[in-house]
Amino acid sequence: MIDEQFSYLICLDLEYTCWENSMRNNWPDPQFPAEVIQVGMASFDMTKNQCLAKFSSYVRPVLNPRLSDYCINLLQIPQSTIDNSPALPEVIDQISSFVNGYSKDSTIVCAYGPDSKRFADDAARHYRDSPLDSFTYLNLQQEAGKVLGRTDKLPGRDYIKEHFQLPPSENRHDALDDALDVKLLLDTLVEYEK
């Protein structure tokens, strides 16, 4: 699943602005895109299986700065937290610092779903490049679909947890906790493939 050339892993998770139909229909309204409202990342030394560093930041969206009631209830992020958070360009600078020192040849970024692309899309709205674009990206949801033979309808994170009898996430929809959870899911799928 992960080539041996990669000594380092960066697990990524994002939370986005959302409405009741957003995830089901993949954010169909261009007036209401998936804007990043929280970023969580954890880097790991793959040879030592050790967490090296963690990063988490809330983000103030620009197009839809007021979170929907659905979003607040789902993510449990208060509007006041978002109101007092930095805009994405500042967070991009922080992420650039976080990934500085990781070589694109020896580091892979992994998330459960298309988070890297969604981050790049949101960065582009701010006329910025994503600092993650130079790294190889592993969409763990697609890999899980291949491993479990479910490529027509990709398995959700909760399905994987239930299928492998993994404990539920304590803080589901907290980007940092979900990024750490990506490592657990990856390890489980790699072990299953052996």
Looking at residue 170, what is its pLDDT? Answer: 82
Rounded to whole angstroms, the Cα distance separating 156 from 146 reads 13
Q: Is 167 helix (H, G, I), strand (E, B) or coil?
A: coil
- Number of C-beta neighbours around residue 178 at 10 A: 24
Rounded to whole angstroms, the Cα distance separating 22 from 46 reads 35
Looking at residue 107, what is its pLDDT? Answer: 97
In terms of C-beta density within 10 A (0-12 exposed, 13-18 middle, 19 or more buried), how is residue 142 classed? middle
Strand-pairing partners, residue 136, are 108
Strand-pairing partners, residue 92, are none
pLDDT in tens, the chain (194 residues): 888 899 999 999 999 999 988 877 888 888 889 999 999 999 999 999 999 999 999 999 999 999 999 999 999 999 999 999 999 999 999 999 999 999 999 999 999 999 999 999 999 999 999 999 999 999 999 999 999 998 888 999 999 999 999 998 889 899 999 999 999 999 999 999 87
- What size, in residues, is the chain? 194
Please state the pTM of the whole predicted model: 0.94
For 49, 92, 118, the CA distances from 130, given in Å and listed in that order, are 26, 7, 10
| Helix/strand/coil (H/E/C) assignment for every residue in 60-113 | ECCCCCCCCHHHHHHHCCCHHHHHCCCEHHHHHHHHHHHHCCCCCCCEEEEECC
